[in-house]
Each structure stands twice: as C-alpha cells, then as structure tokens.
Structure 1
C-alpha cells in the first residue's frame, strides 16, 4: 500500500540547498540586515529570530489576506514584527506581545528606522492577559504564535474565536528541531506535539504544516463552522 510518506519529491534540506532557498527569497533590506547583526550579537538567544525567508513569507501572507489587524505572540527583537508590519497598509496595526523590555528596545529602534513604528503596538506583560483583553468578536486578520511552547494551546484557544472567517493563524517551531515527530518527546517538544494534534483536530480551521525553518503551521479560519471549507 502506498503511503503519504513515500514522496519522491521530498528534498533533504542540506546547507547548500538552504542557502539556495535563501538566495531566491526577496533580499533583506539594510535595516533588516542591521537587525540580524544586532540580534546575532546577543549570542545564544539569536536562535529565536525567524530566518529571513520566513520573514518574507510573513510579509507576503499579510498582503495576501489584505491584513489590517495582526496579533503576534512573541516579539523578541522584532524581526517577525517588522516583516508583518511591512505587509500592512499605513493605517494597519500589529499588536505584539512580549515580556522583555531589553529585547524589545532593540526591536523599537528597528521599527523606527524602517518607518513602521506607527503600525506597531507593543504590549509588555503575559501574553495570555493581553489576548484576554482583546475584543472578543472576530476582528483579527492574521495571528502569529512564536513564544513559550507550553502555552501554545492557550494562545490558540484565545485567538481562534477572534480571527475573522478567512483569516490566518500561524504557529512557529512546530517541528521543534524534529523532536516533535517522536512519540517519546518530552518538555517543549512534547508540548508542541500536543499542540500539533490539537490543531489537526480543530474543525474550525483548515491547516497545513510547512517544513520551513523549524516548521510553520499555516491555518485558515473556516468561513463557517459546519465543517465545510
């Protein structure tokens, strides 16, 4: 019996192929390059920054859904926030949630330099509290989750009712360096594995997991909740 896993088109993403993919994405601006280098200077935390090709995808998705209202959970130094803001019209808004004033100070400098600071509203504090304080009706065009992994389920449940029909929900690190695919996963990988199962079973959305960077789930809120796309 043929398995979906038997895919002759699957490509092992070697470093050389990854560089090729990066070389064929929209190139980073001088401000984005500066932010990459500033974040690299932090040392180990640099691994939390989304890669540039993923940032390009975020900008494209924001434009594709004509987003005006975006919510991001997890700001770090603001690279993904900048990408989302670049996909907004001048009167659009990204509400981005984080706990670190130190890291988000780096972000604010980059947003100002890129001319999008007026499109970004930073809310410092627990993201769950920020999400609960948002209007309850569906009004979000795009939501991006990239924060503490054990809380992904809570963020998802807070966001799905607030995303408009046809809007997008994105979740980062859903492969967790491949560990989420192992049924013996523990810690953050186990939390991500449980979250992935939750999304797969959620009939409010239609979703696909993309093997970009550390794995990105792309989900569209259904136009109705009858189970039909």
Structure 2
C-alpha cells in the first residue's frame, strides 16, 4: 500500500501536491491524525481523494457506496463533493476506526449524508440487493480486504446503474502484483481481479496509476 502515488520521486510528488492539491483544513487534519495510526498506510492519498471527488462531480452522483471506511478520509472527500441531498452507504466492521471517521463527518457537517453499516460488507451488499437497490447507485468505491475484492466487485456491478462507476483501490499493491515471487493470498486475489477486469465486457476499463493504483470500471 502507499499513501502517495507510486514511482514518483519525493521532489516530483511534492511538486504535484503544491501545484494541484486543494485539500481543505478538515481533510488535512484527518489525514494528519491518521498518519499516527498503526495502520496509517490504509488511508488513501490526498491526490487520490481529490481525483475521486472530481469523478463524483463529473458523474453528477447523488447515491454512492463505499466498501471499507477506515478513519473516513475517502468518505469525507466524497461526501463533501456530493450535493446536499447526496447519500453514501458506507460499509465497515470496525467500531474503533470508524469512531474517528464519525467525528470528522460530524464536524464537516456531512454526517447526515453517510449511512454507516457496521457489519461484514458482503452481508450489507446482499441486503441492499435483496431490498431492490440494484441499479440505483451512481458510484462505488472498494477499498477493503483483498481476498473478497471479486465478490465486492460483482455485487457493486449489480448495484450501480448503467453509466455508473466502480473505483477499486490498491490494484498495483505496492508493485507486488508485478512480482512473480510474491504469492500471498491478497496479492493473488488482486492479480486475479485485474486479469478478470481486463477481459470483462460488462465494463469500460482504465487502471489509473495514481496512489497505489486505482481501477475505474464504467458499467455498460
């Protein structure tokens, strides 16, 4: 994982941020607090957050889905980009991590936009499908346990509308996906999903080398 875009020198990365990042104070404070967390590497980079906010605005999204919340940087970024009547269904299993997220959502005035489901994400996604929510989401972001990435993707593909977008994080996995010597379960799961998406005619595909690799899958 990486909290900044892979493959850039510190000098170029610092320039990238100085020339383009428009991170408001509350996002910066959340990122700084999370930097001291034992699992700080799980947080998305600020340039990725800004990119996702732009995507949400381009889509005209009102209803979005997030699988994997952690301390809430990605959900806060998306919530701030949504219109006043926008909504995020946010899936996570950690009360501890999401307590930090809730505090910042409340301070930013977006807590009412975010419906946090503290349960296994597959259970939440299946419940949404059973409730007739298929084809009603504009955008989905997947950033959780890698072994379930394919299952999350398949459910998200049902839940987003035609023309909706699924964004999948960590698809370059710190470069480990390109190293044949690395064969752990998480790396293999990401490799399999990357190979599947490359051939998946249900979507229009782009793997963007921002942060730790972000796949964009537009539902046809």
Task: Bin the TM-score by the shorter chain.
Answer: over 0.9
- Paired residue for 2:29? 34
- Counterpart check, 1:100 vs 2:94: yes
**Is residue 72 from structure 1 mapped to residue 66 from structure 2 by the alignment?**
yes
Gaps of 5+ in 2: 1-5
Q: Which has the higher helix share?
A: 2
Note if 1:194 corresponds to 2:192: yes
Structure 1, gaps ≥5 residues long: 1-10, 223-229
**TM-score scaled by structure 1?**
0.89
Which residue of structure 1 aligns with residue 122 of structure 2? Answer: 128
Of 154, 159, 166, the residue aligned with 1:157 is 154
Quote the offset at 1:120 in angstroms. 0.6
Deviation at 1:25, TM superposition (A): 2.5
Q: Tell me how many residue pairs correspond in the alignment.
A: 211
SS in 2 for 1:164: strand
Which moves more between the two structures, 168-177 or 24-33? 24-33
Q: Which residue of 1 aligns with 2:210?
A: 212
Alpha-carbon distance in structure 2 between the residues aligned to 1:93 and 1:99: 19
**Stretches of 4+ moved more than 3 A in 1?**
none
Contact 2:27 2:77 survives alignment (8 Å): no
C-alpha distance in 2, partners of 1:70/1:104? Answer: 18
CA distance in 2, matches of 1:63, 1:36: 22
Once the 2 structures are TM-superposed, how far is the Cα of residue 165 of structure 1 from its aligned partner? 0.8
Take 1:179 and 1:117, find their aligned partners in 2: how far apart are those partners?
A: 36
Q: Please say if residues 56 and 82 of structure 2, whose CA atoms lie closer than 8 Å, have aligned partners that are also in contact.
A: yes
Pairwise CA RMSD of aligned residues? 1.4
CA distance in 2, matches of 1:28, 1:65: 21
Residue 52 of structure 2: which of 36, 40, 58 is its match?
Answer: 58
TM-score after normalising by structure 2: 0.92
